[in-house]
Structure 1
Amino acid sequence: MSVAPKASKPTWPTPPEGGWTADDLERLPNLPPHTELIDGSLVFVSPQTAFHERAVDFFKWQLQSLAPADFEVFREFTIDIDRQNRPEPDVVVVRGDVVEEEPEQTRFPAEAVLLAVEVVSEDSVSRDRETKPLKYSRAKIPHYWRVENENGRAVVHAFELEPTTGSYTSVGIFRERMKVDAPFSVDLDLTGIRTRHGGNR
């Protein structure tokens, strides 16, 4: 009598017909940290580079120090775009009135978001350059910054929502120094995104 090999159970959850929903991210067990929902599909984050970590830290703390008192800054926090889209910007600036006292809060409504910042990784290039800006602009998020690694240096592509077209328009590409007046006054030394011991990479 031959014994057929036992079929192994799938490691990842199988999507239902029509795809996952924003609420499913709360209910699905054992999801990897920082799982996003894009067009009803789960997106898992790959291991991040040192550049990505430094850039996210830099923008989180710099924006937190510069933001007006009625705004708050978070890193890696999901936002509700619609039923099938719950992306997680690397850094997000939101209205303070949507931040709840309970520590269990896991997401913000898109209409409360002032600025979304994405630091591009090898596996997120098309999402950060194409997919997410489209989602964010349709959700009427006023500002979007995309941070790219250019030979070890940060380059920031800044966009602002153009109200008549509902799409983003470029407000500048910044190397070494970023100075903008919106969403609030910002003057950043981008050369600070580097190793602690410096170097001329």
Structure 2
Amino acid sequence: MSVAPKASTPTWPIPPEGGWTADDLDRLPNLPPHTELIDGSLVFVSPQTLFHSRAVSFFEWQLQSLAPVDYEVVREFTIDIDRQNRPEPDVIVVRGDVVEDPEQTRYPAEAVLLAIEVVSADSVSRDRETKPLKYARAGIPHYWRVEHEKGIAAVHAFELEPTTGAYTSVGIFRERMKVSAPFPVDLDLTGIRPRRGGDR
């Protein structure tokens, strides 16, 4: 006599009524690394490409060398926007006075000077539409979106327009990026390219 297999118990967290909150990200067990909260829903990150990894490392290290001493550059760290939104930009520049505790898991959005997102295949709409809208509403002064265009990086730079509360474009940069805000930056974007071969 055969025994019917038992139905497997779902391992995904079941959202409560009204959705998850920013505090839940610190309490839920066994979440995948880099889980974000967008509009009360958990967003899991897909495996990243070589371009994505190189771009994140490039901006982290380059901005660390250029940022004023009272700012910190941090990669892949969540920020509190509101109760239902705790996104994780790929790189942020944040005021140094909020970097207090080695055990902290997030920064307040009002302390963020610049948020950078490197677009992946699964994040196109979030990085182009959802996140910049939320970052602007949270008052983050600068937003850079990094796209992969035929083997090169293209950086779309935006600045918050105070009268409208929306981002306005300050340029699209390929090969070289030179801007004066949020602090003087002059970057050789060709450093993001693979040393040999193509992006895999």
Same fold (TM over 0.5): yes
**One-letter code aligned to 1:159:** F
Q: Does the alignment pair 1:29 with 2:21?
A: no
1:192 aligns with 2:191: yes
Q: Identity percentage over the alignment?
A: 87
Partner of 1:173: 172
Aligned residue for 1:132?
Answer: 131
Cα deviation for residue 4 of structure 1 reads 5.4
SS across alignment from 2:85 = coil
Aligned-residue Cα RMSD (Å) equals 1.4
Residue type matched to 2:173 in 1?
F
Alignment deviations for residues 37-64 of structure 1 (CA, whole Å, 9 cap, x no partner): 0000000000000000000000000000
1:6-17 to 2 correspondence within 5 Å? 6-17=6-17
- For residues 23 and 7 of structure 1, the distance between their equivalents in structure 2, rounded to whole angstroms, comes to 31
Number of positions where the alignment pairs a residue of Structure 1 with one of Structure 2: 198
Corresponding residue of 1:120:
119
Counterparts of 1:151 and 1:167 in 2: how far apart (Å)?
A: 29
Match of 2:42 in 1: 42
Q: Could you list the per-position Cα deviations for residues 131-165 of structure 1 after superposition, in whole angstroms to 9, with x for gaps in the alignment?
A: 00000000000000000000110000000000000
Listed as ranges, the gaps of 5+ residues in structure 2 are none
Deviation at 1:194, TM superposition (A): 1.4
Aligned residue in 2 for 1:84? 84
The one-letter amino acid of 2:33's match is P
In structure 2, the CA distance between the partners of 1:51 and 1:112, relative to structure 1 (3 Å rule), is: same
Report the TM-score, using the length of structure 2 for normalisation: 0.96
- 2:99 is aligned with 1:99: yes
Q: Give the Cα–Cα distance (whole angstroms) in 2 for the partners of residues 90 and 36 of structure 1.
A: 11
- Structure 1 residue ranges without an equivalent (≥5): none
Letter matched to residue 183 of structure 1: P
Give the deviation of 1:195 after TM superposition: 1.7
Matched, 1:150 2:149: yes
